[in-house]
Amino acid sequence: MSNGYDETHDSHDLAPGDEYLEGSSLGERALGYVTGLGLAVLLTATSFFVAGTDLVWQPSIPVALVVLAIAQMGVHLVFFLHITTGPDNTNNVLALAFGVLIVLLVIGGSLWIMSHLNQNMMPMDQIMQMQR
């Protein structure tokens, strides 16, 4: 019976986040979490540095923060949520994609509603006449 991995699969040849697989020691799993924590702290510190320094070209700061935020999400997905490209993670990836879709729909709908509020409201002079 195959579990999706080669029979010659080397236990030290694991993707980040796959430390939880059978046969891995507590030390290997802890090292994966510590590595993720170190990367997350480094990316957070870099974000604060970029936002608070004059050494970075000012118009590029939003782009740099978006790139660092995406990298931060990647670190969390791989090292803490263990979402990798392995064959046993198909459901996790689909659930993540569905969650992202829902978040985008909520944000997009909220922005659409807020952008159309003014044209759907009664003019101020009519509101003032109604209050008299």
Task: Give the model confidence (pLDDT) of 1-13 as tens digits.
Answer: 445 544 445 555 5
pLDDT tens-digit profile of 17-35?
Answer: 565 555 668 888 888 899 9
C-alpha angle 37-46-55 in degrees, rounded to nearest 5: 170
pLDDT > 90? residue 120: no
For residue 7, the model assigns a pLDDT of 47
Q: What is the pLDDT of residue 124?
A: 81
Q: How far is CA 18 from CA 9, 13, 22, 48, 116, in A?
A: 13, 10, 10, 30, 47
* pLDDT at residue 55 tops 80: yes
Give yes or no for a contact between 82 and 33, defined as CB atoms under 8 angstroms apart: no
Mean pLDDT of 75-85: 85
Rounded to two decimals, what is the model's pTM? 0.62
Average pLDDT over residues 56-69: 93
96, pLDDT greater than 70: yes
Q: Within 11-60, where are the H helices?
A: 26-52
Percent of the chain past pLDDT 70, that is, above it, reads 82
The predicted pLDDT at position 25 comes to 81
